[in-house]
Amino acid sequence: MSTSRKLPKKQVANHLKTTLLDAIRRSGDYRNLQVFRMKRSFFFLALCCICFIIGFLYKISLKKCPIIQVIHPSIQATTSEMKFQQATTHGYEEFSALLKMIEWPLPSEDRTIEYSTHPKTSGYFLLNPQSTYVVGQPLKVLITAIDHKGRPKSYGGDLFFAKLHSASLKAGVSGSVMDHKNGSYTATLIPQWSGETEISVKLMHSSEAIAILHQKRDTRPDKVFFKGYYERNGRQEVVECNFELPGQDVCEYYEPRYDEKWVCKRPKHLPCDSYRDHSSGGNRDILSKEEHEFFSEPLRDKEVPSTLGKFHVLPQKNAKNVTVANAKHIKCVPGLKNPDPSGYYYQDAWQSLTCSNQHFDEPTRAAKCLSGKIVYMLGDSTLRQWWEYLTSFIPTLKEIHLHVAHHKTGPLLATDAENDYLVQWRTHQKPLRMERSRAQDLRYIASELDGMGAREGLVIVLTCGNHFLTYPVGLFVRRLYHIREAVSRLLERSPETKILIKSANTGYRFDHGSDWLSLQLDTIMRAMFSKLPVTILDVWQMTSCHREPEDLHPPTIIVKNEVDLMLSFICPQ
């Protein structure tokens, strides 16, 4: 009985090659043999070149950000379609999860202005109304979105803000709003004080307006531009700068450690290394006439009418507000999760529901808290307000003039010789919509953190986000990723260092800005730092429920409460 044996693939290939060569030799066609050998050599040479190129590209990709490498947002693509590379599966999964967290229900098709939500035709009413309410008892409010023609909407995506407030008691607390994605929304509001109270519901943006914000954020980063100032030997040139300037001859400034790049249009007469200063450039109007209508003054940040008037809240008879009682027994230490609501105002003083916060009404008490501390504030102008408040509030805290080009761009330093502490503020690196400043004075937050050693009494206060609103979220994630990694490294070197991260303020009312854009980045920030032993200072609610009008740069009374909350975590009871 005969059996067949299957030859290995390598033996089969060698056998076929030998057979082919023998056939050529027998035919006497040595020219064909020579051609065969030449083709074989060329094939192996081409294969080697391809392998070298693949290896080179792979080596480059390893230097890129572990979270995301963004194809510049000027390419017409939505955030969800953005192409990127990542070095680890974990990085890809995290970025996908972040995008999932900020998904927003958008209209399925373009709508004209008459189909968009109108604040004056929309309304709300109490679910299960009662004759009396007590402190700590949740109120449920049903909000119905109605368009310009009085037609109920059948889809969600509108941005509503809800709160309870009392003008006479100078009190306020934010509510949470659930989108049912069918044109109706439920707001949950929890009274935190007894006495006079009323409900406020605002339409910040219709879902149609948000669809425009979403699309322009991802496809038109050029709507905001910057200026680069070049100087040498008495000659000056001013050119446009940004993350990218597609199709232009540019000077490129690359920071390999943090995978950051900034470009400026190449000056006509000066070299790239003569780059000296940076400033805001301006805004481009990228909205059509029809799109502008969705952002007109009567349609944004407007109260929704209601027949509900003021009502009276009774104190609890048998027990105090459980949430308040629990918070008053918790020290303000790193790693605490902010509940919703995270606090409320009463007589203009913030009462935290996260922990037992304090009120530093006397300068000497604030100075005593800061004694022996080194406080570094790194971020934007909303954090500069904290530095300015401290230097104006504490008489012994004196500014050291660093002879900077402009006070608003810093860096700023103040010391208190009597109480032995210092407070410094420095802005983060570009993009920055600020006055002209020295490019050398702008530093990456991650770089500053990596340059710090273990020091007793070290306190780091960070904020980052406002200047990234106009760009696809991938750029913000990349910047925040490197900050987070630098925070982790610093805590390994110096576990006693206190790191506090200020959330975004509400009240963004500038060109191309929006509280919806701020909310998206703030959500990402909280998620990315959620697993580190750091403190998230929830000033989002502190700026959204006060009796003063919302403003990106809030008035002193709000700033005072923000700083008091910071000091409560620096010096917990």
Domain annotation covers residue 55: no
d(CA 106, CA 54): 41
The CA–CA distances, whole Å, from 475 to 42, 47, 134, 481, 482 equal 44, 37, 46, 10, 11
d(CA 518, CA 509): 11
Chain position carrying tokens 């909310």? 519
Percent of all residues in the chain with a pLDDT value above 90, rounded to a whole number: 75
Residues 499 and 352 in one domain: yes
Residues 420-438: what's their mean pLDDT?
94
Residues 517 and 440 in one domain: yes
Among residues 57, 81, 101, which one ends one of the domains? 101
Q: Tell me if 140 sits within 8 A of 191, measured CB to CB.
A: no
Domain annotation covers residue 506: yes
Please give the pLDDT value at position 408: 84
Residues 477 and 366 in one domain: yes
Residues 422 and 532 in one domain: yes
Confidence of residue 53 (pLDDT cuts 50, 70, 90): low
Q: Is the pLDDT of residue 443 over 50?
A: yes
Domain annotation covers residue 512: yes
Residues 401 and 255 in one domain: no
Residues 381 and 514 in one domain: yes
Structural domain boundaries enclosing 70: 66-101
- For 180, phi and psi rounded to 5 degrees? -85, 0
Confidence of residue 573 (pLDDT cuts 50, 70, 90): confident
Residues 117 and 152 in one domain: yes
What are 473-487's pLDDT values in tens digits? 999 999 999 999 999
d(CA 270, CA 278): 16
- Mean per-residue pLDDT of the chain: 86
Task: Please report, for the domain that includes residue 421, its CATH number.
Answer: 3.40.50.1110
Residues 526-541: what's their mean pLDDT?
97
Please give the pLDDT value at position 90: 58
Rg (CA), the chain: 30
Residues 350 and 244 in one domain: no
Please give the pLDDT value at position 46: 55
Confidence of residue 10 (pLDDT cuts 50, 70, 90): very low
Domain annotation covers residue 436: yes
Residues 304 and 170 in one domain: yes
Please give the pLDDT value at position 50: 55
Which residues share a beta bridge with 163? 174, 200
Domain annotation covers residue 387: yes
Are β-strands 498-502 and 535-537 bridged in parallel, bridged antiparallel, or unpaired?
parallel
The CA–CA distances, whole Å, from 454 to 374, 422, 497 equal 11, 16, 8
Residues 303 and 346 in one domain: no
What are 326-376's pLDDT values in tens digits? 667 799 999 999 999 999 999 999 999 999 999 999 999 999 999 999 999
Confidence of residue 77 (pLDDT cuts 50, 70, 90): very low
Residues 367 and 400 in one domain: yes
What are 267-314's pLDDT values in tens digits? 999 999 999 999 999 999 999 999 999 999 999 999 999 999 899 999
Residues 43-68: what's their mean pLDDT?
48
Which residues share a beta bridge with 353? none
Residues 459 and 345 in one domain: yes
Residues 250-254: what's their mean pLDDT?
96
d(CA 262, CA 244): 7
If one counts the domains in the chain, the total is 4
Task: Please report, for the domain that includes residue 203, its CATH number.
Answer: 2.60.40.10
Domain annotation covers residue 97: yes
Contacts of 428 (CB under 8 A, 6+ apart): 378, 379, 380, 442, 443, 444, 445, 464, 467
